[in-house]
Structure formats: C-alpha cells, structure tokens
Structure 1
C-alpha cells in the first residue's frame, strides 16, 4: 500500500496513477510492495530529520527510511517540497517531473540501490530515467 501525507502547499493529482506506476516499478525489480509512506514537508522539517537521524547538517530533497524485509518493500520517504521547487527551477524542468524523479529515487533506495559512489550515482540516474519513461500520466 502506498500512502501520501501532504503537508504545506502540495496536493498531488493522479494519485491512483502514481501508485500504480510506483507499484509496477517495485514489481519489475522482482519485489513485492508492502507499505510505503510518502511524507511531503518543507526544508526545515527535512533538515531536522537529516540532523537527528543521519547526522548531516545539510539540506536535501529526500530521506528514505527502509523497513524492508527480504522481498517485501516497506519504508518512509520524506520529500522536501521546497527542494523540489528550487531544483525544478534550476534544472528548468516541470515541478511534477522533478517530484516523480525524487519519488522513484526514494523507492530505488528501498529496493536496495545506493548512490554513494560515482558509479552508483550513474546507475541510480539510469534507473530513475528508465522508470520515469514508464509513466502513463
């Protein structure tokens, strides 16, 4: 089950289509979706979590807490709407496209992908692009 917790100035459209898309991404990796909570917040809230849980005193667009066990994918994905807005503007892309990229990025972390090294970042970006191309909305 995928749930969205919308705070502040975000209201998702096409929730059903987004859920179907993300579920199919998980299943295409040979995994089963159990529970993913997407929590949309602001920079300050995400910075607090970054400091408290990851000991990083930096702004970020997404933090993922992975509760997956074996092939059952479960976790929380916190997304800063402030970062998405700023990055979309800087990259000259639509807000919804940047939001979808960050959402699938969080899901990829739950699926076991990491982006600590240069090679891992390249692989993660390729996966993001591949899954973004599968959207039907």
Structure 2
C-alpha cells in the first residue's frame, strides 16, 4: 500500500494521542493480507473470521506502545461496501487502531457508534491538518 502524505499521517496519529491525553511511546502498523490477519485472529483471539484490524496494547508503564495489524484486503473491500475511497478507508482504520490504544472500545453497539463518531471526527480533522501543511 502506498500511503499518501505518510509523514503528515504519522504526525497526525501522534496528534490523536495528544488530544486523547494518552502519551505515545511507540506504535507500529503492520499491513498484511486477509489470510495473515485471520491466522492472528485465530491464534491470539480464538476468533475464526476475517477482520480489517487487530490492535495489541503492549504498554507496560509510561506511554502507550502498540502494534496495529491491518488487512489491506479488508480495507479494499470495506471501501467498496461503505462507498468511500481506498485511501479514506485506510486512514479510518489507521485512526481506529490509534483510538483502541487510547481506550476506545467497539464491542457493544453503543461503543461501536461512539468509535465511528470518533473516526469521523479525526478524518475531518486530518483534512484540516493537511491543509495547514
């Protein structure tokens, strides 16, 4: 996946952590295939289904440390399903992982609605952020 404005995107992810008052020590994004993420889902979460993202919080003390695995296959399919562009859906999922590491959940209906609201908010803020670059 080619990430447009990679440096700006990285800076903006750091901004999310600042706005959410979660000090960021390190975040790693691993972009992979459906099959690779399915295996991680089976091995680590005992879930036997495809997903677009799995986030692991590896923090042990001060500052957030996390690994975010993203299936590019799912991102492409979800972009079509949600009638959006691939880059926009990729940014949504990238922000989704950051929000998980900031403590947001999405298991319940109410939590999922709130998570989507926060994704939308940060997608809009990202466009403003880009305009200022």
Q: Structures share a fold, TM > 0.5?
A: yes
In the alignment, structure 1 residue 17 sits paired with structure 2 residue 22:
no
Query: What are the equivalent positions in structure 2 for 1:66-77 lying under 5 Å apart?
Result: 66-69=57-60, 72-77=63-68
Query: What are the equivalent positions in structure 2 for 1:47-126 lying under 5 Å apart?
Result: 47-69=38-60, 72-126=63-117
Could you tell me how far apart the structure 1 residues matched to 2:93 and 2:107 are? 16
Could you tell me how far apart the structure 1 residues matched to 2:109 and 2:102 are? 19
Higher strand share: 1
Could you tell me how far apart the structure 2 residues matched to 1:71 and 1:121 are? 27
What's the offset of the Cα at 1:92?
A: 1.2
Could you tell me how far apart the structure 1 residues matched to 2:122 and 2:60 are? 23
CA RMSD after TM alignment: 1.2
| Residues paired across the two proteins, number | 128
What's the offset of the Cα at 1:68?
A: 2.5
In the alignment, structure 1 residue 39 sits paired with structure 2 residue 30:
yes
Whether the 8 Å contact between 1:61 and 1:83 is mirrored in structure 2 is yes
What's the offset of the Cα at 1:26?
A: 0.6
Runs of 4+ in 1 over 3 A off after TM superposition: none
In structure 2, runs of 5+ residues without a counterpart are none
Higher helix share: 2
What's the offset of the Cα at 1:14?
A: 1.0
Could you tell me how far apart the structure 1 residues matched to 2:8 and 2:43 are? 33
SS in 2 for 1:134: helix
TM-score (norm 2): 0.92
